[in-house]
Amino acid sequence: MRTPKHFYVYVMTNNPRSHLLYTGITGDLPRRVFEHKNTDAAIQREKQIKGWCRSKKIKLIESMNPHWHDLASDWEDLYKPVDRTPANPRQILRGLTATQDDVK
């Protein structure tokens, strides 16, 4: 017989006086706390960088990527969006019945 999985409901915030409360459920509380803390740090860093002038942002980029290489150039096939548009848009309407709002 399998051991039943335990789930935890959590309520977290990014600092003691914050008005933001994150509520959720997880089966791995330590992992979720780690993710939350890293996400919170990333959001704080994003806000900090957004406040910088353009020249300061460029200095940051060039300190880590001096030749401005496209760091996502190999991602094209990995994250290519799937085209879900039907060849004939009328196919979407097939099989649907008209409602009173559709009929004038």
pLDDT of residue 49: 93
Tokens 């509520």, residue located: 23
pLDDT of residue 103: 52
pLDDT of residue 98: 61
Cα 16 to the chain's mean position, in Å? Answer: 25
Other beta carbons within 10 angstroms of residue 99's beta carbon come to 7
Q: In angstroms, how far apart are the furthest CA atoms of the chain?
A: 64
Q: pLDDT of the chain along its 104 residues, tens only?
A: 777 788 999 898 877 777 888 899 999 888 888 888 888 788 889 999 999 999 999 999 999 999 999 887 877 777 666 777 766 766 666 666 666 555 55
Let me know the angle formed at the C-alpha of 33 by 19 and 25, rounded to the nearest 5 degrees: 80
- The rounded distance, in Å, linking the Cα atoms of 63 and 83 is 38
